[in-house]
Amino acid sequence: MDLKKIEHCLDRAIDFLYHSQLPWGEFKTLASWNFLMMPAYYDSSPFGTGLILHNLKGLNDERISKMVDKAIAFLLSEKEKGGIWRFWTSRNKKRIPPDLDDISVISSALESYGVQFEDNKDLVLNNRNKEGLFLTWLLDERHKKNLFWKLAAKDADCVVNVNVLTYLEKPLPEACAYINKLISENRSSSYYYPSKLAFFYFVSRAVRLGVACFKKNREWIINSVLSCQKKDGSFGNEMETGLGLNTLFNLNYFGKETEDGISYLLSRQRRNGGFKKQVYFLGIPWWFLALSPFYGYYGSEEITTGICIEAFKNYLSQR
């Protein structure tokens, strides 16, 4: 593998993000009513910016430093009292209750860069069901009376639970057992992340950041990810390939499969240095999409590029 070519592609991808970051520090999140993301419109959210901060961690570059500073300022400007974030920003006309995925992903990103903010961990710990699993939504009494939110109130999403454990840095037994069962059954029960590779990616990231209770399923996750690889080296599309590669790298797996995956990403980089927008997550549970007037499929060039930057970074760090 030509390392200089990978370094060049990484540099171009960083440059794409640098020039596409919005003036107030946000990275765009796009919404669509279909899985092809065509058409798609800008739907201001802090979540994508939190995800990209994780992707950029560990890279030393003046452009990275400037992006990180702007992104942190943006995320802090969207923080509400008590260390709370919600999916749509104050720039967005739509409103939605706060959720533990936004809170956990953004909080852990800020903590990783040494940013201080008020302690919200008790608030997170207290939002669990009787089985000990974390509930996605922080609902007030008004929302609990709404029919949709009555259904969503019971939502204990597997990826959200993984992200909460990553933030809390605590291997809470009920959540760990639930996630490990899903891993051993090679499935994901996520309402919000349609690809099981996203589930494996967040689990692998949790392992890398110290959530030890998932380590026993390392081989199972690796084999499950490898079984998804196609003849062209991809694990589906660019987003899924980045997720698959980062999962393998986080679990310290390197081999021909990762070489082929990196080669695929190199071949898919666009002229502007970015990567194609593709669905990463859903804004509302999949079972509600058919009934919803809202656009529920989310992703962007910036979010896909962040995942690919992480893959290039992880590959180069082992060479």
Tens of pLDDT, residues 38-68: 999 999 999 999 999 999 999 999 999 999 9
What's the pLDDT band for 286 if we cut at 50, 70, 90?
very low
What's the pLDDT band for 147 if we cut at 50, 70, 90?
confident
Predicted local confidence at residue 283, as pLDDT: 79
Give me the mean pLDDT over the 208-225 stretch. Answer: 96
What's the chain's average pLDDT?
A: 93
Distance CA 148, CA 184 (A): 32
Q: Does 241 or 293 have the greater pLDDT score?
A: 241
Torsion of CA 108, 110, 115, 116, to 10 degrees: -50
Give me the mean pLDDT over the 169-192 stretch. Answer: 91
Give me the mean pLDDT over the 183-192 stretch. Answer: 87
What's the pLDDT band for 289 if we cut at 50, 70, 90?
very low
Predicted local confidence at residue 294, as pLDDT: 53
Give me the mean pLDDT over the 101-124 stretch. Answer: 98
Q: What burial letters (b/e) apply to 185-223, b meaning 16+ CB within 10 Å?
A: eeebbbbbbbbbbbbbbbbbbbbbeebebbeebbeebbe
Q: Mind listing the domains of the chain with CATH numbers?
A: 3-317 (1.50.10.20)
Predicted local confidence at residue 171, as pLDDT: 86
Predicted local confidence at residue 155, as pLDDT: 87
pTM exceeding 0.75:
yes
Q: 17-44, pLDDT tens digit by residue? A: 999 999 999 999 999 988 999 999 999 9
Beta bridge partners of 49: none
pLDDT at 263 over 90: yes
